[in-house]
Each structure stands twice: as structure tokens, then as C-alpha cells.
Amino acid sequence: MMTRETLYDAITEVRDELIIEAMETKPAKSRVRWLRFGSIAAAFAVVAGLGAGVVSGKIPWLRIGGNEAGGGADGSMVFDSYAGPVFPLTTVEGGDGLTAERTVTYDFQGWMAGDPDRPYYGLPVTDSYTLTNPTGEDKTVTLLYPFAGTLFDLRHRPTLTADGAELQTTLLTGQYSQLATGRPGGLPSLNSPDSWEEYRALLSGGRYQAGALEEWPDLSHIPVTVYEITNPWAEPGVGNKGDGSYNPTLHAEMELDYGKTTVLSYGFNSGKYDRDSGRMRQGFDAPQPPKEGASIDPGFYEKERAQPHFLIVIGEPLDSFRLVGVSTGGPESTDYLEWGVDIGADLRQYETDLDSALRAAAGQMRRGADGDAESTEDGPDFELYFGMLEDCLLDTGILLDDPEERYDFTSLEDLYPEVIQRVFYLEAEVTIPAGGSVTVEARMMKEASYNHACHSKHDKDIYGYDLVTKLGTNLDIAAQTAKAVNTDGVEIVRQNFGFDWENGVDTVALDPEQEHYYLEVRRAGA
Amino acid sequence: MEDAAIIALYWSRDENAITETDRKYGPYCRAIAQNILSVREDAEECVNDSYHHAWNAMPPQRPDRLPPFLGRIVRNQSISRWRRERAQKRYAGLESLLSGLDECLPDPQDVERTVEGRELTRRVEAWLEGLSRDDRAVFLRRYWYGQEVQALAKAWGVSPNQMTKRLQRLRVSLKRNLEQEGMIV
């Protein structure tokens, strides 16, 4: 009888070429293009007045989740995965009249102990500020505490306190689609930041931070037609590919003018796009009921059937649309199955607006195809997720009138707003009394920058923790200090802090004019 | 050092063969062992055991490609170690891998004939060849190299949940393929 161990052994023996190819294959990551909008209002003007082209200039690319490079030219390591620096506190109003002193503490207690609740080699970091108001009047300021991360690891977000009491905070993030505003000479070539210099580029000029304080784009002005396909099915035994495998597939066949119509999809995994003939096909596997007594999760088939599939049509209506079943998954397949006998589904066509249509799809994306909520309790609220999804969508340029300027994009699942490394902000209000001070602390579990296992042993075991002193802050931070505690068993590999904890130097003064500090450590004896 | 030169050291019974293997492929072997066993010290021992196994295997073997050859030894040493200590459930990486492979197993009542392990490998290879290169890489990085779902998700720029679903689809696909081939070992 086949067991999981015999299957493990069989996989062990697959031939060399496949094993080598697997490691040489570069992941096909989604790419999202920067959009050269003057503003989101301008974007709507473009949409509302199809034909009023406003786009020109070169279009750099944004690579999601990039991790090929990191660090900088100042002696720090170039990490495969760069976690971003610890940023300084800033304010919405400008912090005029306030003075600040900053102490950043790295606590190595329990570091590398394998605590599953920590992010990757996470280190407790406390970023503490003494804010002083020398004036004769109380000052209420809106604080913004920036931190690097992705949407799906927000459970490690910092907490903010004022004189020991936790502050109520609002989570914000900047809008990539607005970054083109007013940049002479074209857009910055920003990838998902892989180094502290790329974070510097992201935050320079303040536009990204300003976007965090603005409303997300409103797409409810844009009419769309939705084709919603539900309850797909295929009879057992249909869709035999001839080699013993089965893949009955539902295809939406459309005719359209690619220059005037954009089709967004959710829940489709194959497609054929023929611009010359104006035809498009998009398909997905039709679920077949499991055989009697099969060990497959009996709920899997029902979950597959319950998963809705959307085609969202923007611009001119389709010239034609029909839903068909084919016996194999190939986009060229014309081996049609008998509709309603071999294969079928329910189809609903309706008119709505882009905001509503995206919300329906986004709700499914959050829940996932298997019906499980994705980090419901720890995850971000839906509006944040949805705003970031819209932001990513605008970056693709799909709403531009010039087809040449649009990214060739159809699948909403390719947007992945949750994995874009970006800067988030915690917003909180605090009052500093006249002539008094308040201590504001940000406590976080800071993820390490690290290298993948394929690196040499020496580099593989090194973990990096960066800090920036003035990037993005409008506070006058008169003095900055860094501390390291519980450092037994931790060895410094490279740094520019000036720590020498073997000789008792575990507190150092930082130069506020030095923008970037790095600390690279490993387990002693590693 | 070129792989052919390293293999020549084994054939000439020069103990530098192991030193050179470790220098060139130590990180590769340790990564696989660490992925599968999840216990650093045991992974290190497993790699050392694998070098001795390679020493005993060459000669008579003269592998065309050294990395897959070494990787296979590491995988075999890893599962041998797991078999010895399975009661302790000590190796989370392999427990997770095997749990995933459980979902690929066809139901005995759905198969009609018995095949040997080598034929099963050929069927898995044929199934892999029918996948896109990207899917093939995802499956093998997970089930041959033992990379964690989180790491794969990060490399592919998707959420762990999306990568989990992709792997689930691949497992169901393999299971259906094996069922339809009517095979049992």
C-alpha cells in the first residue's frame, strides 16, 4: 500500500534536471507599474472623460516583495531580505516649539530562542522620546510613528504609550499611486524597498506620508458590468484528457475592443488574449465531486463550488459573451462539453460601479478560496485592505485611456496588496503641558534582515537591525542614544553604532546628522 | 573546485573529497537538512552522516550532478533519522512535509494495480512535467527541498494563505493523477 513515506521516497528520486530546475526557476512575481497620475482627481478626470490622455514619460516598475538586495554602501551587509529600519517619530503639525530626546533600546533577551510568536528573529525594540514643551501654553500634537512592514504581518505592529499609558492609535499607510505628483524629471525608480536608501527615496518629499492622511480613492463614479459565475460543476468522468487525468474547465468567451474595454477577473486561472481578433478567453477548473469513499476532504468540493468568480468589465460593453465548458484546461481547447449535462454553472450579469464590484471580489480575496478568513483577528481592517487594493489597481494604469500606457493586467489576485513592503503609520494624539514633558514610547518586535539558507554559512547566520535618525521626521531631536541589553551570547559582526558590549560599552550617543545606523549580529560561536 | 574534480577525489579515496564537498555544498546540504529536520544540531549531524554515505557510495557511483546526488542522500538520511525517532515527533519540518504528502495518496479502492517505487517516481515525474515550470518549482521546493510555506510565499511575493492554497491545489492534482493511473505500491 502506498504510504506518505513511499511517496516521499519516490519524490526523492525524481530526476536531476527537475531538481536543479526548481532552484533555478525565478519566482514569477506580480509586477505593478507606477502610474503617472498628477492626482487621484486627475485620474477620475481621465476616466470620466475617456479620450483625454494625460499620460506621458517613462514608467518604472514596482516589484512586489522584492528581496534580492538590501543594505547600503556604508559598510553594512546587503541582505537578501531587508526588514527596514526603525524610523523616528514625527508629527502632523510640524512639532514647532517642541524639543525631543530619543533613546532606542535593543533587548536581546530570548533572541534566537525560536519563539513562534516573534517575527523572523524578532528583537524587542523600544523607541522612546521625551517631548518637552518649553512654551507657556499646553500643546496638543498629532503623532505619526512610522514602521516598515506588510499588511499580513501587522500583528507585530508597534504599540504607543505616553507616560506609560497606551495611546489609542489609528493605522495608516501612504498611497503609491500618488507619488508621481510634481516630481520633475519623471518618477523615482522605486521597488518594494530593499535597502534603507530605498526607504529614503520612498519618504523623500513627504508625498507618501501626506497620502497616508488622505482618503483612499473613491471608485464609485466608474460604471462597470459584472458577470458573476456561481455554483460551477462538472459530472464525474467528463474532461478526460486522454492520459488518465481530468480537467473539465469553464471558459468565458468574449469579444471586445481591447482599446476601449478592460476586463478584470477574480477566480480565473487561465486565459487567452488575442488583441488582433478582439477575442478573449478566461477559464477556471470546474469542480467535480469526489469519488465515493475518496479520502479527499469532503468539504473541498463544496467549497470550490461555493467560490464565486467575477469578470468586471470597465469601459465599452463587451461585443459578445458566452459561458462554455471544455474538456481540458488549455486556453485553445475547442473540445466543448454539453452545457447543462456534462458541465454547468449559474451566471448573473448586472450593472454596478467599480467600487462595489471590487468590494465583492475583495471580500472573497480576504476570505480565501477555501473559505477561511485570513488572519481575521490579527489582520488589518477591511477598509485598509480595500484601500490598498484600490491603490495597487490604480498603479497598473488600467483606468488610463491610452491602451499603450496600461499594464497588461487582468487578474485581481495578482495585485497582492498584503505583501507589498511599505511604511505604515500609527497616528495618535498627545498633549504636552506648558513647561512640561511627556515620554512617548513605541514598543515593537522588530523583524531582522537576513540572508537565505543558500548563502555561505558565515553570511547565513547574520541578522541585521537598522535605524535611521532623521528620515521623515519634522521633530527637532536634540539628542539620540542607543542601548543594547541582555547581550550575552550575541556577537557583533558589523556595526556603526560604536557598541563594545564585551567591554561594557552598551550605551552610545548617536550623531543626529548621521542618517543611518546598522547593527549586524549573530549567535556567539555560530 | 569543479564537481568532476571533487568526484575524482572520492574515487581516489582522498579524504579531501569531504572537505571540498563541505566547502562547496555544505550550505546546500545543511539547508535541506535544516528544512526537513528543523533541529539545527540534528541537521548538522545528518549532513555529516550524509558525507560519510557519499564517501561509501563513490565509488562505485559516479553521479552526473553532485547537488541532487547529495540532496538525495540528505533526504534519505533525514527520513531514516525521523523513522528512528518518530515517536518523539521531534522533527516538525518532516512531520509537516509528510502530512502534506498524506493528501496526495490515492484511495486504495480507487487503484487497480501495484507498481514498484521506481514506477511511482516515473509517474510523479510525468505529473511534474505536465505542470507549468512555476508550479513545478513550487512543488519541488516544498516537497524536495523542504522549504517552508512562509519562505515560499515570501519568495513568490504572495501571502502564506495564497501559497497554502496553491500547494493544496497541487496536492489534489497529484492525488487525482495517481488515482487515475490506478497505482498502488
8 Å CB contact of A294 and B65: no
Asked if A155 and A95 sit in the same domain, the reply is: yes
Asked if B84 and B117 sit in the same domain, the reply is: no
Closest-CA residue to B49 (of B14, B31, B76)? B76
8 Å CB contact of B180 and A67: no
Amino acid at A175: Q
Asked if A178 and A285 sit in the same domain, the reply is: no
Query: Residue A188, preceding bond cis, omega within 30 degrees?
Result: no
Q: Is A373 left (phi over 0), alpha (psi -120 to 50) or beta?
A: beta
Asked if A359 and A229 sit in the same domain, the reply is: yes
The pLDDT score that the predictor gives to residue A56 is 23
Residue A103 belongs to a domain: yes
Asked if A360 and A230 sit in the same domain, the reply is: yes
Residue B149 belongs to a domain: yes
Residue at which a domain ends, from A322, A352, A367: A367
Domain CATH number, residue A145? 2.60.40
The pLDDT score that the predictor gives to residue B116 is 59
Asked if B135 and B62 sit in the same domain, the reply is: no
Asked if B46 and B117 sit in the same domain, the reply is: no
Residue in B105, B155, B175 closest to A27 by CB: B155
Q: How would DSSP label each residue in A352-382?
A: EEHHHHHHHHHHHHHH-TTS--SSTTTSPPH
Domain limits at B32?
3-90
Please answer whether residues A40 and A177 qualify as being in contact, where contact means their C-beta atoms are separated by less than 8 angstroms. Answer: yes
8 Å CB contact of A2 and B106: yes
Residue B97 belongs to a domain: no
Asked if B110 and B169 sit in the same domain, the reply is: yes
Asked if A324 and A440 sit in the same domain, the reply is: no
Q: What is the mean pLDDT of residues A479-493?
A: 95
Asked if B9 and B86 sit in the same domain, the reply is: yes
Asked if B14 and B80 sit in the same domain, the reply is: yes
Question: Percentage of residues in chain A with pLDDT exceeding 70?
Answer: 73
Which grid cell sits at A383?
A: 477598509
Residue at which a domain ends, from A367, A384, A412: A367
Other residues' Cβ atoms within 10 Å of the Cβ of residue B52: 12
Residue A245 belongs to a domain: yes
The model's confidence at residue A106, banded by pLDDT at 50, 70 and 90, is very high
Contacts with A114 from chain B: Cβ below 8 Å: none
Which grid cell sits at A411?
A: 487578474
The pLDDT score that the predictor gives to residue A3 is 81
Q: Name which residue leads in pLDDT, A263 or A524.
A: A263
Other residues' Cβ atoms within 10 Å of the Cβ of residue B136: 20
Residue A21 belongs to a domain: no
Asked if B9 and B85 sit in the same domain, the reply is: yes
C-alpha–C-alpha distance, residues A124 and A25, integer Å: 36
Asked if B84 and B161 sit in the same domain, the reply is: no
Q: Name which residue leads in pLDDT, B59 or A299.
A: B59
Residue A196 has pLDDT above 60, yes or no: yes
The model's confidence at residue A186, banded by pLDDT at 50, 70 and 90, is very low
Residue A66 has pLDDT above 60, yes or no: no
The pLDDT score that the predictor gives to residue B107 is 67
Residue A229 belongs to a domain: yes
Residue at which a domain ends, from A367, A387, A403: A367
Asked if B109 and B62 sit in the same domain, the reply is: no
**Where are the alpha helices (H) located in chain B, listed in sequence order?**
3-11, 16-37, 40-57, 66-84, 92-102, 117-129, 133-143, 149-156, 160-180
C-alpha–C-alpha distance, residues A105 and A121, integer Å: 16
C-alpha–C-alpha distance, residues A253 and A272, integer Å: 9
Q: What is the mean pLDDT of residues A448-469?
A: 77
Contacts with A64 from chain B: Cβ below 8 Å: 157
Q: Name which residue leads in pLDDT, A246 or A157.
A: A157
Nearest CA in chain A to B172: A296
8 Å CB contact of A11 and B172: no
The pLDDT score that the predictor gives to residue A32 is 31
Amino acid at B69: F
Kindly report which listed range (A136-145, A302-311, A315-324, A406-415) carries the lowest average pLDDT score. A406-415
Residue A403 belongs to a domain: no
Asked if A159 and A236 sit in the same domain, the reply is: no
Domain limits at A111?
65-208+423-523
ipTM over 0.90: yes
Residue B27 belongs to a domain: yes
Strand pairing category for A223-234 and A343-353 = antiparallel
Asked if A253 and A149 sit in the same domain, the reply is: no
Kindly report which listed range (A90-94, A208-212, A409-413) carries the lowest average pLDDT score. A409-413
Per residue of chain B (185 residues), give pLDDT as tens. Answer: 888 999 999 999 998 999 999 988 988 899 899 889 888 888 889 999 999 999 999 989 999 889 999 999 999 999 898 888 877 777 878 888 888 888 887 766 555 554 557 888 988 998 888 777 888 999 999 999 999 888 888 777 776 767 887 888 888 888 877 876 555 44
Q: Name which residue leads in pLDDT, A225 or A193.
A: A225
Sign for the pseudo-dihedral over CA of B151, A85, A78, A480: negative
Asked if A87 and A133 sit in the same domain, the reply is: yes
Average pLDDT along chain A: 78
Please answer whether residues A387 and A218 qualify as being in contact, where contact means their C-beta atoms are separated by less than 8 angstroms. Answer: no
Contacts with B184 from chain A: Cβ below 8 Å: 1-2
8 Å CB contact of B133 and A13: no
Asked if A147 and A261 sit in the same domain, the reply is: no
The pLDDT score that the predictor gives to residue A409 is 58
Greatest alpha-carbon span in chain A: 85
The model's confidence at residue A408, banded by pLDDT at 50, 70 and 90, is low
Q: Could you tell me which residues come within 8 angstroms of residue B32 by beta carbon, excluding any fewer than 6 positions away?
A: B71, B74, B75, B78, B145, B146
Residue A185 has pLDDT above 60, yes or no: no
Residue at which a domain ends, from B45, B64, B90: B90
Asked if B10 and B82 sit in the same domain, the reply is: yes
Residue B98 belongs to a domain: no
Residue B50 belongs to a domain: yes
| CA trace torsion B28, B31, B34, B35 (10° rounding) | -120
Contacts with B50 from chain A: Cβ below 8 Å: none
Asked if B120 and B169 sit in the same domain, the reply is: yes
Q: Could you tell me which residues come within 8 angstroms of residue A5 by beta carbon, excluding any fewer than 6 positions away?
A: B79, B83, B98
Q: Name which residue leads in pLDDT, A253 or A398.
A: A253
The pLDDT score that the predictor gives to residue A178 is 67
Give the Cα-Cα-Cα angle A62, A63, A64 (nearest 5 degrees): 115
The model's confidence at residue A432, banded by pLDDT at 50, 70 and 90, is very high
Q: A-contacting residues of B 2-41, CB under 8 Å?
A: 26-28, 30-31, 34-35
Contacts with A296 from chain B: Cβ below 8 Å: 103, 172, 175
Strand pairing category for A507-510 and A477-485 = antiparallel
Residue B95 belongs to a domain: no
The domain tally of chain B equals 2
Residue at which a domain ends, from B90, B112, B143: B90
Residue A371 has pLDDT above 50, yes or no: no
Residue in B26, B98, B159 closest to A419 by CB: B159
pLDDT, one tens digit per residue, over A125-184 is: 999 999 999 999 999 999 999 999 877 677 778 999 999 999 999 899 988 776 653 333
8 Å CB contact of B124 and A10: yes
SS3 label, residue A384? helix
Residue A45 belongs to a domain: no
Residue B96 belongs to a domain: no
Question: Percentage of residues in chain A with pLDDT exceeding 90?
Answer: 40
8 Å CB contact of A245 and B141: no
Q: CB distance from B143 to chain A under 8 Å?
A: yes
C-alpha–C-alpha distance, residues B181 and A339, integer Å: 28
- Across A55-64, A246-255, A427-436, B93-102, which has the greatest mean pLDDT? A427-436
The domain tally of chain A equals 2
Residue at which a domain ends, from B64, B90, B116: B90
8 Å CB contact of B121 and A19: no
Interface test with A, best of B156, B169, B174 (most A CBs within 10 A): B156
Domain CATH number, residue B40? 1.10.1740.10
Place of cell 516537497: B143
The residues with which A252 forms a beta bridge, in sequence order, are A282, A323
Residue A59 has pLDDT above 70, yes or no: no
Give the Cα-Cα-Cα angle A182, A67, A455 (nearest 5 degrees): 150
The pLDDT score that the predictor gives to residue A60 is 24
Asked if A331 and A280 sit in the same domain, the reply is: yes
Asked if A252 and A359 sit in the same domain, the reply is: yes
Domain CATH number, residue B147? 1.10.10.10
pTM score of the predicted model: 0.63
Asked if B65 and B108 sit in the same domain, the reply is: no
Residue A38 belongs to a domain: no
Residue A57 has pLDDT above 50, yes or no: no
C-alpha–C-alpha distance, residues A518 and A83, integer Å: 12
Asked if A231 and A350 sit in the same domain, the reply is: yes
Residue B13 belongs to a domain: yes
The pLDDT score that the predictor gives to residue B32 is 92
